[in-house]
Every structure is written in C-alpha cells, then in structure tokens.
C-alpha cells in the first residue's frame, strides 16, 4: 500500500512507524511543511495509560520516550493571598521537539520517506492519505463542507512559553494584578527547561496591554507579574525573532466526518482537546494506533476507515467532555478566587464537579506532610508495578529531572 501522511507531528510520524511495522512492504511517506528540527510548543505531559499503549504497539520507540521523559509526583497550587496547596497525582513530560526527533528517527530507521519543507502540494500517488496536519489542517480545509468542520474559539487568551526555571513539579500559579487574575500551568520536561503556559480572560489581557506589546516586551511584563515563581529566570518565546508565538484563543475543532475517499483525518486535524487536560498528543498517538489496527484487519479501505472513526469517537467522548468542563472552569476562574486555599485547589482539581465526598476529605488530609508523603509513596508503588507489566520496559522510573520532592510541608 502507498501511504502518505501530511504533517510530521506526533500523529503523522507515529502512524508512519506503525504502518511500516505492520507491513514493511508499505511505501510510507511523511510530508512536513517545516524544515527538519523546527516545531512549535515546549514540553507536553502524559500519563501511564499512554505509556501502556506505546509499549504495546512499538516497544522500541516507547522505550526511548520513557527514557527521555521527566517524571513529576504531584501538583502544586499557588495563588496570591493563599497558602500553597497540593493535589495528588503523578505524570510524565517530554519536550515536543525531543518527542518528534525520536519518532522521526524511528520512522527513518524503518524506511519511511520523511520529507521536510513539503506540503499537501507534494503528495505522491497514494492509496491512503492521512491528514495529520494539525488543528488548522490545509488538507481538511480543501473539503471543509464534506468533513463538516466546526471551529469554536475558547474565551480566554493563552500563550505557550518556556522558561529556564526548572519547576519542582507540575505547578498552577495564579497572580492577582490590578487588571484581574492571570495564571500559568508549568512543569519541568528536561534538566534545564519547563513549559510555561500563561492564561487570562480577554479583559485582563487587554488591561495588562499584552495585546499591544511585542514578544520581548510581553515576556518582560509576564516575568514581572510572575517574578515570585521564576526564581530570577527568563521566560522564553522561541519565535521571538520571527514576530513571536503570539497570544491565541484555543480552537476547539470537531468534524462530522473523518474521511473522504482515500483521505482520512487524524489527531488535531480531526479533533482538538483543550490543553488544560494535556491530552491532545496522547489522542493523536492513539488515533494512529487505531488506524493501524483498522487497516491490519483487512477488507475494503472504506470499511477500515469507518472502524477507525467509530472506535476513536467512542474513546474521545469522555475526554472531550472533560476538556470542555476544564476550559470553562478556567474561563470562570475569577469566580473561584475568593475560596480559601484548600477549597480553591480542590475546585481546580474537581473541574468537572463529579468527585465523591471522600476525594475532598482525602484532599484536606493530604495537605499535611505525613499523609501526603504516604499517598505519594502508594502512587509511586502503583506506577512501578504498572511499569513492570510493560513488555520490554525497564521497570525503573524515567530519570527524575526535576528537583527532588521535599519530605515535609
Ligand atoms: C498550549 C498547548 C499545550 C499543550 N499541552 C499538551 C500536553 O501537555 N499534552 C498533550 O498530550 N497535548 C498537549 N497539547 C496538544 C498537542 O500539542 C496536540 O494535540 C498534538 O500536537 C496534536 O498532534 P498532531 O500530530 O495531530 O498535530 P501537530 O502536532 O499540530 O502536528 C501537525 C504537523 O503538521 C505540519 N503541517 C501543518 N500543515 C501542513 C501542511 N499543509 N503540509 C505539511 N505539513 C503540515 C505542522 O508543521 C506540524 O508539524 C497542547 C497544545 C497546546 C496548544
């Protein structure tokens, strides 16, 4: 089969890898519009469920991702005028740049023809064309009415920055300014860098003049606002030299149909999920797994594409609901600002409003050092046990890139 993936993001590259693993005779091409080594964004987070899947589908790339990832052991919540509180839960993070370079190397080693600085205009004769060209997919736009594409804009403004301050763990920080609340989602993803996503309402954004400042001046203003969290380190906009990353509104993309003849949508081109639940990359990779499975089961292409879409829509639905509830919580964030510290961080963690009472009681209890350490120990034991079950995986955790967790507080 001749397969072309338009877009060399996680979806396109990983599907290319799986297609080659399924049948080395497939001719697989990836067309990426950017030059090699160029991408947007900083680190992304993921959890055990993705690692389980990655090890099941390709232990080689999974092992490399596992080795390169950074682990964090809890969430810290800071807000002006409130005590620092903690939310239980661990996860992993990895630079998007590193993830793509690992997937590229794996694809090339399997004989995938990866072409950079190439786009949909360069598609060779193909039996299957995978539109993995992201939320703003050009390939999808060629036939937007067939796909039934809808794009809804989120209310808040955000910008995806990085910083050389290595946060100890996943941290939400909320600052009250005279113009209103502004906050960040930050986490370490290697020895030297953390992701730093800043968000606020459009009113606060305009009042802080973030709509008018260029990339450098905008970063400088944010460094001043968040000085208490950055330990003197800079915020970095890696597009500062070319006009800046720019403030965005999250685009919630949905499509009524995912295929059109031999063209099929995958990853963000098919659906986006708000960054507040950190799942878009996972969903893109799992789309690739589902399409690889659907094709491997044989039969006509149209039936395989239907199986793929059916399976993925069912899997996506709960996460999309969670993402929507999560983004709406952040749009209403100023309404929660008056809550006392522990209730505020609990409201943040229970953004869907579905937790039973015992979760609140546990949350209260684990603000104390000893119960918190015990819960962290139990979660780590569970993580270790789960890691041991993965085929070909070393049971040890990825190297702890972030500063070690304190024993008290
Ligand atoms: C602020 C922010 C934070 C996020 N954090 C997380 C997180 O922590 N965890 C997580 O799981 N997800 C996160 N995501 C979501 C994640 O980045 C996306 O869901 C994921 O990258 C989707 O993968 P993809 O391969 O479908 O698309 P993309 O990663 O967007 O890749 C598309 C590729 O196609 C290329 N391309 C575009 N047009 C063309 C064209 N015409 N021809 C050829 N190539 C083209 C692009 O250059 C790009 O390389 C975050 C997103 C945002 C905005």
32 in contact with ligand 1, CB cutoff 6 A: yes
Residue 34 CA: which ligand 1 atom is closest?
Answer: 47
Helical (H) or strand (E) element with 283: helix 280-296
Residue 36 CA, ligand 1 centroid: distance in Å: 15
d(CA 289, CA 283): 10
CB atoms within 10 A of CB 268: 25
Residue 271 CA, ligand 1 centroid: distance in Å: 11
281 in contact with ligand 1, CB cutoff 6 A: yes
Q: For the chain, give every domain's residue range.
A: 2-71+92-152+252-333, 157-242
Q: Which CATH superfamily is domain 2-71+92-152+252-333 in?
A: FAD/NAD(P)-binding domain (3.50.50.60)
282 in contact with ligand 1, CB cutoff 6 A: yes
pLDDT in 10s for each residue of the chain, 409 residues? 999 999 999 999 999 999 999 999 999 999 999 999 988 899 999 999 999 999 999 999 999 999 999 999 999 999 999 999 999 999 999 999 999 999 999 999 999 999 999 999 999 999 999 999 999 999 999 999 999 999 999 999 999 999 999 999 999 999 999 999 999 999 999 999 999 999 999 999 999 999 999 999 999 999 999 999 999 999 999 888 888 889 999 999 999 999 999 999 999 999 999 999 999 999 999 999 999 999 999 899 999 999 999 999 999 999 999 999 999 999 999 999 999 999 999 999 999 888 999 999 999 999 999 999 999 999 999 999 999 998 776 655 554 444 444 333 3
Predicted pLDDT of residue 401: 43
Residue 134 CA, ligand 1 centroid: distance in Å: 5
341 in contact with ligand 1, CB cutoff 6 A: no
132 in contact with ligand 1, CB cutoff 6 A: yes
387 in contact with ligand 1, CB cutoff 6 A: no
Residue 39 CA: which ligand 1 atom is closest?
Answer: 49
Predicted pLDDT of residue 244: 85
Predicted pLDDT of residue 395: 54
Phi-psi region of 89 (alpha: psi -120 to 50; beta: other; left: phi over 0): left
Helical (H) or strand (E) element with 86: strand 85-95
Predicted pLDDT of residue 397: 53
Residue 9 CA, ligand 1 centroid: distance in Å: 6
Question: Cβ distance 72 to 123 under 8 Å?
Answer: no
Residue 163 CA, ligand 1 centroid: distance in Å: 20
- Which of 122, 133, 197 for a ligand 1 pocket mutation test, highest count of atoms within 8 Å of Cβ? 133
CATH 1.10.540.10 fits 157-242, yes or no: no
Question: Cβ distance 356 to 91 under 8 Å?
Answer: no
Predicted pLDDT of residue 392: 72
- Starting at the edge strand found earlier in the chain, the sheet holding 170-177 runs 43-46, 85-95, 70-79, 170-177, 180-188, 194-200, 157-163, 235-236
Predicted pLDDT of residue 20: 98
Residue 50 CA: which ligand 1 atom is closest?
Answer: 11
119 in contact with ligand 1, CB cutoff 6 A: yes
In the block, residue with structure tokens 């893109």? 284
Predicted pLDDT of residue 243: 83
Helical (H) or strand (E) element with 109: helix 96-109
């Amino acid at each position: 089969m001749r397969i072309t993936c338009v877009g060399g993001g996680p979806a396109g590259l990983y599907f290319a890898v799986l297609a080659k693993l399924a049948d080395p005779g497939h001719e697989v091409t990836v067309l990426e519009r950017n030059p090699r080594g160029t991408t947007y964004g900083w680190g992304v987070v993921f959890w055990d469920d993705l690692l389980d899947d990655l090890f099941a589908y390709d232990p080689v790339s999974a092992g490399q991702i596992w080795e390169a990832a950074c682990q964090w052991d809890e969430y810290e919540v800071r807000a002006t005028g409130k005590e620092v509180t903690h939310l239980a839960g661990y996860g992993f993070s990895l630079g998007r740049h590193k993830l793509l370079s690992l997937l590229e190397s794996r694809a090339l080693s399997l004989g995938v023809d990866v072409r950079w600085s190439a786009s949909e205009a360069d598609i060779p004769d193909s039996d299957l064309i995978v539109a993995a060209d992201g939320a703003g997919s050009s390939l999808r736009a060629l036939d937007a009415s067939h796909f039934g594409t809808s794009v809804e804009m989120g209310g808040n403004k955000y910008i995806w920055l990085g910083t050389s301050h290595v946060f100890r763990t996943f941290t939400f920080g909320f600052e009250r300014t005279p113009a209103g609340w502004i906050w960040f989602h930050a986490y370490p993803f290697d020895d030297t860098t953390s992701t730093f996503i800043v968000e606020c309402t459009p009113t606060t954004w305009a009042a802080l003049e973030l709509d008018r400042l260029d990339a450098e001046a905008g970063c400088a203003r944010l460094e001043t606002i968040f000085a208490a969290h950055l330990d003197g380190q800079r915020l970095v906009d890696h597009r500062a030299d070319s006009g800046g990353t720019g403030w965005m509104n999250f685009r919630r993309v949905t499509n009524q149909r995912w295929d059109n003849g031999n063209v099929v949508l995958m990853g963000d081109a098919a659906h986006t999920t708000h960054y507040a639940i950190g799942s878009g990359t996972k969903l893109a990779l799992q789309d690739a797994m589902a399409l690889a499975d659907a094709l491997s089961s044989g039969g006509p292409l149209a039936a395989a594409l239907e199986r793929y879409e059916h399976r993925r829509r069912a899997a996506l639905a709960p996460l999309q609901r969670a993402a929507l509830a999560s983004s709406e919580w952040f749009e209403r964030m100023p309404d929660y600002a008056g809550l006392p510290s522990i209730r505020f961080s609990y409201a943040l963690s229970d953004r869907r409003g579905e937790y039973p009472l015992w979760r609140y009681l546990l949350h209260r209890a684990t603000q104390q050092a000893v119960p918190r350490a015990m819960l962290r120990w139990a979660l780590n034991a569970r993580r270790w046990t789960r890691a041991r079950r993965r085929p070909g995986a070393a049971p040890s955790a990825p190297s702890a890139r972030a500063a070690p967790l304190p024993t008290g507080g």
